[in-house]
Structure 1
Amino acid sequence: MAVEVRQVRTKAERKEFIRFPWNIYRNDPELGKNWVPPVISDYMNTLDTDVFPLYEHADLEMFTAWKDGEMAGTIAAVANHRHQEFHDDRVGFWGFFECINDQETANALFAAAAVWLNAKGLDTMRGPVSPSMNDQCGMLTKGFDTPPVFLMLYNPPYYNDLVKNAGHGIGQELLAWYIDQKIIDIERLRKIAAHVMKREKLSIRTLNMKDFDNEIELIRDIYNKAWEKNWGFVPMTDKEFNYLAKNLKPIANPHYIYFVEDSDGRAIGFSLSLPDVNQALRHVNGNPFSPWGFLKYLWYSRNISMVRTITMGVLPEYRNKGIDSILNTHIADYGGQHGVFASEMSWVLKANEAMSKLAKVIGGKPYKEYVIYEKRIS
């Protein structure tokens, strides 16, 4: 039978869209071993145009594919107007792609997204971006043998073939760096950090949870200034940043969130790392807020052994001065004192040689690779 593509219109259909990946991963023992089910309530909000603040400046459409009377795939298309204004281009995005191993189904999904994006005046589609560059990005191409860390994507290897066979080329390659803190020369790092702090007259502190809102404002300000020139970057609005901060606050450990300050007490850099709660979430089947799911989440959270460094930011005038050494030293020190000896630095553009050099200095290895694909659609 031919593939039928339907637009998602109701809340029930949105939930059906979100639940579809269970069909892909639970039916495959190897994939199911490493896949972490998404938190259903989080995805319901992320794909709700009345709730998620991205949609104040972006349009969303969701599609499902059906074959032989069964759902066979999903895709979302996003027209992010702030991206178009900031980069002066006509790039649209696709994400939340899940599909059976069937090229006809994949082609139908990509075609539906392309037609919708084209109708919005866009000439290029880029993805997976779910749903923005400030969220989950990239299709896994290497590192299928280990689970993804918090807020990173996982997919079957054949997804890459489906995308490439549908005419998409490589837009950017991303890396995830694994850092085994047991092999870090921590004494050397401490000496470097102390030297930089003395030379630049700097100090370091953790995030103050009692002043959370103002601390988040500091992070937002540095983040938007530090990442302004990065590929694909779009400054987050106050609403977007506050929404993200509110959702991450329950899992934040202030001892993994650092500010570096100058001699006047002005924050000039920060580092944001979070416990890899995926180690607990993989046991709750997408429902950590159900009574049984919450108990499971608490139980498995006791032994989280890894953190993810999501982002670091340094004001432009303090770049290339070794500020990162101060931040990395404190992350490693605190982790080591509390039995957490592994971290992932992700994601990092493969083309970003400065960040790759930094990762290597602290003993990092690029153990996972991702691709953001791109295709002209005009």
Structure 2
Amino acid sequence: MPNTAKRGLNVSQQIDVTPVSGKKDFNAFVDLGYRLNASYPNFVPQLRSETVELLTPGKNPFFEHARVQFFLARRGGKVVGRISAHIDELALKQPPEQGMGPGTGNWGLFDAEDEQVAKALIARAEDWLREQGMTRVLAPISMSIWEEPGLLVRGHDHPPTVMMGHHNPAYQAWFENAGYTEAKKLLTYDLDITKEFPPIVQRIVAAGEKNPRIKIRPMEIKHFAREAAIVIDVLNDAWSGNWGFVPFTEAEAKYGGKKMTPLIREDLNMVAELDGEPVAFMLTWSNANEPIKEIGGKLFPFGWIRMLRWLRDPQCNTMRVPLMGVKKEYQNSRLASQLAFMMIEYIRRNSVKSYGATRGEIGWILDDNKGMLAIAEAIDSKVNREYVIYEKAL
């Protein structure tokens, strides 16, 4: 049954929220995100084919362990909003003290023309989650915690880097007015990579280079399966105690690897070995949002030429470090920070020398991850964006 917002509205203002059904609805769901955000100068429209793949069962392996329902809001027959409601079965199995756990559902992929539409959409997503037996919401998460978690609340004055969300500033008040409170804050850090790191960091890197037990090596694309297995092994171990953690599946690793392969450069992605065993990694991507913004997110008729040229030689202003990890047994030790500084320094040098980059962005980082916050501060980086994940009892 459609959800209708009636309070204070006449018939012409009636808002109907209905499940997405059929190709026409699906296309409307996809296209609305572009239409409602087109007027924001720092919005970067993602490639439509990528968005379609993300939302399609059988293509995105998230659907293999999740229940998902998309909704559209209409007013006077016009599509004026969208939202996804979803339940990650793997998240339900996590310890409640780590943020997820039994009874916790999510909504995301949210866009709305105004607050009345927002209330109707959120209410319908909450109803669906209740029908599925959920007792709590964490949102917005679009859709996996590994994709675009949180609402941007600081940093609207500059474009997002690759695979980072950018949202209407009004959404924060709309969510909070709907009864949502902050559960966790996620930070991204910006730094000038044309400058050498502070002397203390340089000394730590130099000491590591003299340690015969330590080896920092580039990831080898020709052995992609091996390298991907290393990343997943370290990631699932290193992040297992973090707030919001959900295990990365083998299928998701393959999907993510295939999706990001065009952005992977060996000299920007590092593995740290101790006594010959991989114990840490750091991933870095050239900021594909720079050429994507230039072509307006459209590959046709001529955008594909620009993208192909860029992928062959990805010169860019910004590099993003989306993920890094150190095996749990070495965390909270001097070795962990030393390995991190060494990988960051090697990637910094290569980014400037080979790709013309001038700045780096690290994130997101949980606001209570003291180890990573200390590393970010030690290299003189500053917070440039904040995202909030909200919660509400159902």
- What TM bracket, shorter-length normalisation? over 0.9
| Equivalent in the alignment of 2:291 | 280
| Equivalent in the alignment of 2:221 | 209
Amino acid paired to 1:328: I
Displacement of 1:22 in angstroms is 2.4
| Closer, same or farther: CA 249–171 of 1 in aligned 2, 3 Å | same
- Once residues 327 and 315 of structure 2 are traced to their aligned partners in structure 1, the CA distance between those partners, rounded to angstroms, is 35
| Equivalent in the alignment of 2:3 | none
| Closer, same or farther: CA 152–299 of 1 in aligned 2, 3 Å | same
- Once residues 199 and 212 of structure 1 are traced to their aligned partners in structure 2, the CA distance between those partners, rounded to angstroms, is 27
> Is residue 333 of structure 1 aligned with residue 343 of structure 2?
no
Amino acid paired to 1:96: L
Contact 1:49 1:60 in 2 (8 A): no
Identical residues among aligned pairs (%): 28
> Is residue 259 of structure 1 aligned with residue 276 of structure 2?
no
| Equivalent in the alignment of 2:262 | 250
> Is residue 310 of structure 1 aligned with residue 322 of structure 2?
yes
Return the TM-score normalized by structure 2: 0.90
- Once residues 250 and 212 of structure 2 are traced to their aligned partners in structure 1, the CA distance between those partners, rounded to angstroms, is 31
> Is residue 344 of structure 1 aligned with residue 361 of structure 2?
yes
Q: Secondary structure at the match of 1:36?
A: coil
Q: Which moved more, 1:66-75 or 1:270-279?
A: 66-75
Q: Which of residues 296, 306, 311 in structure 2 aligns to 1:296?
A: 306
Contact 2:198 2:378 in 1 (8 A): no
| Equivalent in the alignment of 1:21 | 33
- Once residues 125 and 284 of structure 2 are traced to their aligned partners in structure 1, the CA distance between those partners, rounded to angstroms, is 34
Contact 1:271 1:313 in 2 (8 A): yes
- Once residues 268 and 190 of structure 1 are traced to their aligned partners in structure 2, the CA distance between those partners, rounded to angstroms, is 21
Amino acid paired to 2:93: E
- Once residues 348 and 127 of structure 2 are traced to their aligned partners in structure 1, the CA distance between those partners, rounded to angstroms, is 48
Contact 1:184 1:363 in 2 (8 A): no
| Closer, same or farther: CA 47–183 of 1 in aligned 2, 3 Å | same
Q: Deviations over 1:330-360 (max 9, x none)?
A: 1111122232121100101112222111101
| Equivalent in the alignment of 1:91 | 104
| Equivalent in the alignment of 2:377 | 360
- Once residues 186 and 15 of structure 1 are traced to their aligned partners in structure 2, the CA distance between those partners, rounded to angstroms, is 50
| Closer, same or farther: CA 203–186 of 1 in aligned 2, 3 Å | farther
> Is residue 111 of structure 1 aligned with residue 123 of structure 2?
yes
> Is residue 3 of structure 1 aligned with residue 15 of structure 2?
yes
Q: Which of residues 58, 68, 82 in structure 1 aligns to 2:90?
A: 82
Please tell me the root mean square deviation across aligned C-alpha atoms, in Å.
Answer: 1.6
Q: Deviations over 1:197-235 (max 9, x none)?
A: 444710111011111111111111111101000101111
Contact 1:283 1:297 in 2 (8 A): no
Return the TM-score normalized by structure 1: 0.94
Q: Secondary structure at the match of 1:121?
A: coil
Alignment: residue pair count: 370
Displacement of 1:188 in angstroms is 4.8
| Closer, same or farther: CA 186–277 of 1 in aligned 2, 3 Å | farther
| Equivalent in the alignment of 2:9 | none
Amino acid paired to 2:294: H
- Once residues 197 and 93 of structure 1 are traced to their aligned partners in structure 2, the CA distance between those partners, rounded to angstroms, is 45
Contact 1:140 1:371 in 2 (8 A): yes
Contact 1:260 1:269 in 2 (8 A): yes
Contact 1:2 1:67 in 2 (8 A): yes
Contact 1:183 1:363 in 2 (8 A): no
> Is residue 66 of structure 1 aligned with residue 74 of structure 2?
yes
- Once residues 158 and 103 of structure 1 are traced to their aligned partners in structure 2, the CA distance between those partners, rounded to angstroms, is 9
Structure 1 residues not aligned, in runs of 5+: none
- Once residues 185 and 319 of structure 2 are traced to their aligned partners in structure 1, the CA distance between those partners, rounded to angstroms, is 22
Displacement of 1:367 in angstroms is 1.0
Contact 2:28 2:79 in 1 (8 A): no
| Closer, same or farther: CA 200–312 of 1 in aligned 2, 3 Å | farther
- Once residues 335 and 293 of structure 1 are traced to their aligned partners in structure 2, the CA distance between those partners, rounded to angstroms, is 25
- Once residues 254 and 202 of structure 2 are traced to their aligned partners in structure 1, the CA distance between those partners, rounded to angstroms, is 33
